[in-house]
Structure 1
């Protein structure tokens, strides 16, 4: 199957698919534009010469991204987002680890003519790299999408979703979202991190995606008001900004404000509800699983709770630590990931009897609502983008004045988590300045991975095997 063809079968026709400023594009017009781009892509050797090509998409947020991404999927290629915020070195590592056949990017001198006055794009073949994964097994999955959950080091695995998994996942998520044809969904998140499920879901169910690329709260509010948005989908950061928008008033059409990407604080939720007279609903998004948990029943009285597990999913808690009420959340259900790319592992190897261990430590309240109590894994969630401490530590440890480092998650009430580093100064060296360390990291890491704090310490506790102890 092909997810784009499944969306077309819904025959949303003249309904508006995308609103981008003054431009309104119907579903018919959108898929006409996609077909024009797809035809050009299929004539390029990066796609024509490969059985199941892997194509990287390096494009700015906006209508162009949607058209190009859908065209890649329609062209029987596997779509691999390349986030703009990655450094050049990180992007090249991603390209190499996924053994991309080509990369498409925005370019004024491109070889792909884009419709709707979107300019041109450049599709370039990538240097041949022998895949570090079994290509026959990869192809057999019917892959639609590969996303690295953080960076591009060996710590990243590369989550693979098939067309069938995407199809199953959007149906499961919509059991909670209940998005209907003709509804307007205001889009604020980075497409490189959230496109493949969220926008695909909106298109499949016939909703209009309203694009707002500005992060200014007044612009977001005005876009929601002008479009009569029924759904706001964003991070706690966006909702905190909206709550502080002095000119904002309740939006009469708004029925659901869904917060995801990082933990929602009670303060942000209360401020938003006071401003808009609507509770802020938290959802737990997991790239390996989807949107299995939403706080649909207690957004008003328990806004910081993860919520309730959707009916299509099963869950259980696995004992962790000394508190019998707190355990690691395990989930199974439709639309789960198909494999990890690097090192190659199929879902069946990683999920005994179908159960995926999320790494989230949760507690169940008396009203059948899950509350997050911590993380059993080391990953840090920075505004919806996952960061591995080991990646930052490897860079810090390259500094000539640093002997060892440990990176953990700091917490901010509205921004969520951020990397915070402990450092041991090398013998006979002086403590580097924070500016020096930040500059050192910035040359190798994307901005969202840069530690906000650098704390000198005398000792970093290690495990019995000599690894940095995190808990």
Structure 2
């Protein structure tokens, strides 16, 4: 069976730099030396009664470790040891971490010393690994009866389980095989064109983006530059100091970058990709003016990878996610399953290479998650412009129906978030006896103090039709977020 790690090893140039973090670095040879040693230690500590990878039930190994250079060899070691890699995001609450462990039926977990407080009391220590002088504890979790069919799970050659963001409803465990990982990183790179000469500035959490980002960079021989902070001037300095050629981050990172003081000149950048949240035109324009490069938005989705990228339309339509890459197709579908007229919203449906293999809990194989024509319905609503580019306008489940008129919460939030006295907003529906539903908003005010309701109404009136203006404005200290920083909607 295919091993994605061995596929990377076969292509790697041993003396080339794989990872850099400040004054530390690993060549590809050193990376695999560390990963091999860690994998051997994992296998050595397995108790006799635990199913080995050569038998049934592929081991599910959780990794609870900070984003860092060391995260990479540790993650690769879980795969080399015959396990299925399950990242456990550090920012989850203890209860959420325990739920993740239960839903994935984790066999083992690797945690940095000291022992994590969220682990069940009956967790059994199996020993420890040592990585860069740091002790990593190998723990066996109490037996959990999987809610999914283990024979079907094993048959897929599982490599990776990651839970979707869960912006609406319960998040889903997305399962990827080694084969699907290879397909999707190959397909995505037809657009990114990352190669051995590239140095990628890394700013995203590894527990959320490792499998289809770090794996892609390693497979194509690039150097990943791991930046520890998200401050604009630190990003600028790191990009210039390490001659980064590619940056892959969220709009938040780019907003900080364009406002950073001129601490360095970053002249080597050839590609900047924005993902994980909606990109605003103002940030894209400021980025182009400062760095003389387009800020390219893409649709990153755990079920497919990076199927849509705005490579050709970043100047004309910076807020669009663009056109599908050559390995993918993108269809907009209305409630009847047909493409709506140009400019009207429809659900974004995708198909192509490297699609996820199954949802883990509840178990749902890929074939059953697709429609009769093989399309994967994303739940995102989009509009198509005359050039065929797609712009996301909201989520199908969050659409607000005001007397038959459609209101996308995301559109209203973009307007509210552009007010100087608003840090972030969340627009939701409230039942109304006359109109059926009306939008209301909760928002976090800026440190200078909250705006008046009249200020917000006037700001909305300048940019939005009357039926889109929230009926109620409420100032709050914080808003509910998913583990990846997206707004959590009811």
Task: Give TM class, smaller chain.
Answer: 0.7 to 0.9
Which residue number corresponds to residue 129 of structure 2?
Answer: 113
Q: Cα distance, 1:295 vs. partner?
A: 0.6
CA contact (8 A) 2:168 2:488 kept: no
Contact 2:236 2:266 in 1 (8 A): no
Q: Deviations over 1:160-199 (max 9, x none)?
A: 0101000000000000000011310000001110011100
CA contact (8 A) 2:330 2:348 kept: yes
Contact kept, 8 Å, 1:262 with 1:417, in 2: the verdict is no
Change (3 A) 1:328 1:174: same
Give the whole-Å Cα distance in 2 for the aligned partners of 1:145 and 1:346. Answer: 15
User: What is the 5 A alignment of 1:68-83?
Assistant: 68-83=74-89
Correspondence for 1:370? 390
Structure 1 residue matching 2:8: 3-state secondary structure: helix
5 Å-filtered alignment, 1:395-414, equals 410-411=413-414, 412=417
Q: 2:230 aligned with 1:215, yes or no?
A: yes
* In 1: Cα distance, 2:169 partner to 2:383 partner: 32
Tell me the equivalent position of 1:21.
22
- Cα RMSD after superposing both structures: 3.2
**Deviation of residue 311 (structure 1)?**
0.6
Alignment of 1:51-450 (within 5 A): 51-107=57-113, 111-117=127-133, 119-150=134-165, 155-247=170-262, 251-320=266-335, 324-325=341-342, 326=344, 327-351=346-370, 352-378=372-398, 410-411=413-414, 412=417, 419=426, 448=485
Distance 1:332 1:417, change over 3 A: farther
In structure 1, stretches of 5+ residues that fail to align are 380-407, 425-432, 453-467
Distance 1:7 1:313, change over 3 A: same
Q: Is the 8 A contact 1:94 1:152 kept in 2?
A: no
Summarize deviations over 1:238-261 as a string: whole Å, max 9, x none: 000000012156522110011011
TM-score w.r.t. length of structure 1:
0.81
* 1:263/1:416 contact within 8 Å kept: no
- The 1:447/1:234 distance shift into structure 2, 3 A limit, reads closer
Q: Structure 1 CA distance, aligned partners of 2:63 and 2:300?
A: 22
420 and 46 in structure 1: CA distance in 2 versus 1, 3 angstrom threshold: farther
With over 3 angstroms needed to count, the CA separation of the structure-2 counterparts of 1:434 and 1:96, relative to structure 1, is same
- 1:378 Cα offset (Å): 4.1
Distance 1:152 1:365 in 2: 27
Provide Cα deviations, 1:26-59, integer angstroms capped at 9, x if missing partner: 1001000111111111122279822410011111
| Shift, 1:317, TM fit | 1.8
Q: Is the 8 A contact 1:157 1:342 kept in 2?
A: yes
Cα offsets for 1:374-429 (capped at 9, x unmatched): 221349xxxxxxxxxxxxxxxxxxxxxxxxxxxx76443599976556799xxxxx
Number of aligned residues = 415
Is residue 56–residue 103 contact of structure 1 (8 Å, CA) maintained in 2?
A: yes
Q: Is the 8 A contact 1:262 1:416 kept in 2?
A: no
TM-score (norm 2): 0.78
More deviation in 63-72 or 160-169? 63-72
Does the Cα contact within 8 Å between 2:194 and 2:220 map onto a contact in 1?
Answer: yes
Where structure 2 has 5 or more consecutive residues not aligned to the other structure, the ranges are 52-56, 116-124, 400-408, 432-441, 445-474
Q: Which residue of 1 aligns with 2:50?
A: 49
**Contact 1:218 1:242 (8 Å CA) reproduced:** yes
Task: Report the CA distance between 1:300 and its aligned residue.
Answer: 1.7
Say whether the 8 Å CA contact 1:259–1:282 is kept in structure 2: yes
Q: Given that residues 240 and 265 in structure 2 are in contact (C-alpha distance below 8 angstroms), is that contact kept between their aligned partners in structure 1?
A: no
Contact 2:297 2:321 in 1 (8 A): yes
CA contact (8 A) 2:280 2:318 kept: yes
Q: Which residue of 1 aligns with 2:5?
A: 4
SS in 2 for 1:198: helix
Task: Rate the CA distance shift 1:293–1:451 in 2: closer, same or farther, 3 A.
Answer: closer
Deviations 1:428-468 (A, max 9, x none): xxxxx999x989999x986957879xxxxxxxxxxxxxxx8
Distance across 1 between alignment mates of 2:297 and 2:195: 20
- Report the more deviating stretch, 412-421 or 138-147: 412-421
Partner deviation per Cα, 1:250-302 (whole Å, 9 max, x = no partner): 52211001101111000111111112111101011011011011110011221
How has the CA–CA distance of structure 1 residues 248 and 304 changed in structure 2, closer, same or farther, with 3 Å as cutoff?
Answer: farther
